[in-house]
Amino acid sequence: MTPVRHFLALCPDAPARQALAALSGLHRGRTVHPDDLHLTLAFLGELAVSPPALLEALASASARRGPVAVVLDRAETWPGPGAACATGEVPRAAALSTALWQALAAFGYRADPRPFRAHVTLARGLPQSVGETVGPLPAPIGWTSREFLLMASAADAGPAGSARYRILGRCPLD
């Protein structure tokens, strides 16, 4: 059994989720289930503390930050992980990610050394022949997040080995 992986994320509202799901025709690969589309702020892996304790500690890092407006305007394929993504510059999400990582350090977590890249993964398992591409989306896709979520996934939770996610807790941004 694959271990459960945990992460903090912003989730699109229904219209943005529908627009992102409609992009499935732009790529080849295992499409992410529309209910599971999200923008990862921090990938945690295994939890070092209970979900309620973690969310309580992170609430102070996110308090009074206000909602995060997300606008994704590019389609990208990343050959390394074999992923198709909708991406964009989202400075408030990057700032929130940094603040959350600073709070997570108290639990022994270390931020990913790579720079934050705001993205929603649309498909995984792209063929090896797909190279890196970048282009505009047919139209920008946006939403405003008033909370971030603590989510968990297990690789064997969905059909054909696709990940499915569940929400373990919510933390308001207002």
Tell me the pLDDT tens digit for each residue of 69-125.
Answer: 999 999 998 887 788 999 999 999 999 999 999 999 999 999 989 999 999 999 988
Q: How far is CA 96 from CA 3, 49, 101, in A?
A: 27, 21, 9
Segment among 4-13, 60-69, 124-133, 162-171 with least mean pLDDT: 124-133
Which residues contact residue 82 at a Cβ distance below 8 angstroms, ignoring those fewer than 6 apart? Answer: 29, 124, 125, 126, 127, 128, 130
Span 139-148, average pLDDT? 97
| DSSP-based three-state secondary structure for 20 | helix
User: Please, what is the average pLDDT of the chain?
Assistant: 88
Instruction: Give the tens place of pLDDT for each residue, 17-26.
Output: 999 999 976 6
Q: What is d(CA 72, CA 76) in angstroms, rounded to the nearest whole number?
A: 11
Q: How confident is the model at residue 1 (pLDDT cuts 50, 70, 90)?
A: low
Return the CA Rg of the chain.
Answer: 16
Residue 164 has pLDDT above 90, yes or no: no
Span 37-55, average pLDDT? 93
Domain at 5-172: CATH architecture: Alpha-Beta Complex (3.90)
